[in-house]
Structure 1
Amino acid sequence: MRAVDIMTKSVITANPEMTVRIAAGTMVFAGISGMPVIDPDGKLVGMVTEGDLMRREEIGTGKRQSWWLESLASTSDLANMYVKENATTVKDVMSTDVVTITEECTVAEIAELLEARRIKRVPVVRDGKLVGVVSRANLIRALVTVVPKRPASTEGDDAGLREAILLAMTGHRWALPPENVIVKDATAHLWATARSDEEQRAIRVAAECVPGVKEVVMHAGPLGGALGDVGRSS
């Protein structure tokens, strides 16, 4: 799945000369937390977000720093802070260091980008022109549209299910050794003693994601004896 498959194409935008008040009102009434800023030629020149409008003198949210912190700040930082708190147009408060993607960018790449940059949305451009926006919400909607994998026909193939579970854990440091995985009647019995809660959760999820596994049982005791002699835990 790519950006073109999930992006919002009808994008609400701002222009550099728009007032801060109108930009804030647009975001409030549209129910969005940020807008791309487009110049008269249609070029993407920035982004204005809730974060850019958080610190404002007129509503009393400007930063108040102690004299010694202010003395450590550079003159440029102080000037930039003043502009953010007092400027009246979008061009002076918008963020200009805007990361963009193309329509061919995969959803995996988009998710990594949003996480790494700690941003909520990313513009999609073609030949320098805005064609859409992908937000965290778009990624969540994409998850809803994914059709669950249809379980393979594994009835009576406990050995195949066991191999699939081991394969799902391959390459992970928390993976169980093969002898700690037993499948009987499509129920996976896993021994993950002396593992952290996080590791046990990962082991359980790996088994649950294998098509055809009907149930996953985490055993707390040592491996050995009949399955019925070992305590079950969820």
Structure 2
Amino acid sequence: MEMETKVTVHDAMTSNVITADPGISVAEAASIMTEKKVGSIIVKSNSEPEGLITESDIIRKVVSRDLRASEVTVGEVMTRNLISIEPDRELSEAARLMAKNSIRRLPVVRDGALVGILTSSDVMMVAPELTEILVENARIEENRVQLPENERSVPGVCEICGNFEEYLEEYDGKYICEECKEDLEGE
């Protein structure tokens, strides 16, 4: 009997994680995100991750309240109590963890130290067969919690062009990417 190779978190994660100190301002964090083209930064003061700040945290907690991004620290708005995973765990376990907690990013930690980050897009690129786990749960979650129209997006494969996108929107009963949606609306 052939031993099936298990795909691990380590196989799919990104190991050069962009991190920042909790004392920096949200404005600085935003410029790091822009410069590095990332949607989130792991916050840590020593080797251990303390939190995560994402673009949506900045919009929800700073911009929407009209606070000055240069006067708010990352530590004040970051998401704490991070759910993390070890690098040698199976990728399918990571996918279930993301789905269950409705998160798109998992810090990868070995012995308390941050060694990488795993995103839902990483999972789908390495193991497209796990997309089902991520998307099904995102849809279940979404039906349970009525989010405002513009935030009802799930990662997955567009049902029209077949591209994998981080954000799909429901349009006419199909999950499609923004470009296809614009094409349809423009018709």
TM above 0.5: yes
What is the aligned counterpart of 2:29 among 20, 23, 28?
23
**What pairs with 1:127-142 in structure 2 (closer than 5 Å)?**
127-142=111-126
Matched-pair contact (CA < 8 Å) for 1:56–1:85: no
Q: Does 1:48 align with 2:53?
A: yes
1:111 equivalent in structure 2: 95
1:4 equivalent in structure 2: 10
Q: Offset at 1:4?
A: 1.0
Gaps of 5+ in 2: 1-6, 129-187
Query: Per-residue CA shift, 1:145-199, capped at 9, x if unaligned?
Result: xxxxxxxxxxxxxxxxxxxxxxxxxxxxxxxxxxxxxxxxxxxxxxxxxxxxxxx
* Stretches (4+) displaced over 2 A: 84-87
Q: Give the AA of the match of 1:109.
A: E
User: More strand by proportion, 1 or 2?
Assistant: 2
Q: Offset at 1:142?
A: 0.3
Matched-pair contact (CA < 8 Å) for 2:41–2:53: yes
Query: Per-residue CA shift, 1:25-74, capped at 9, x if unaligned?
Result: 111222211111111x22211111112101356x5x229xxxxxxxxxxx
How many residues align structurally? 122
How well do the aligned residues superpose, as a CA RMSD in angstroms?
2.3
Q: Secondary structure in 1 aligned to 2:118?
A: strand
Q: Give the AA of the match of 1:111.
A: A
Q: Secondary structure in 2 aligned to 1:22?
A: helix
Matched-pair contact (CA < 8 Å) for 2:28–2:70: no
1:93 equivalent in structure 2: 77
What is the aligned counterpart of 1:124 among 88, 99, 108?
108
Matched-pair contact (CA < 8 Å) for 1:15–1:37: yes
Q: Give the AA of the match of 1:51.
A: S
Gaps of 5+ in 1: 64-81, 145-234
Going from structure 1 to structure 2, the CA distance change for 1:56 and 1:113 (only over 3 Å counts) comes to: closer
Matched-pair contact (CA < 8 Å) for 1:87–1:93: no
How far, CA to CA, are the matches of 1:99 and 1:31 in structure 2?
A: 23
Q: Offset at 1:2?
A: 0.5
Q: Offset at 1:127?
A: 1.0
Q: Give the AA of the match of 1:142.
A: V
For the pair shown, which has the larger CA radius of gyration, 1 or 2? 1
Matched-pair contact (CA < 8 Å) for 2:27–2:69: no
Q: TM-score, normalised by structure 2?
A: 0.59
Q: Give the AA of the match of 2:65.
A: G
Q: Give the AA of the match of 1:3.
A: V
Going from structure 1 to structure 2, the CA distance change for 1:19 and 1:86 (only over 3 Å counts) comes to: closer
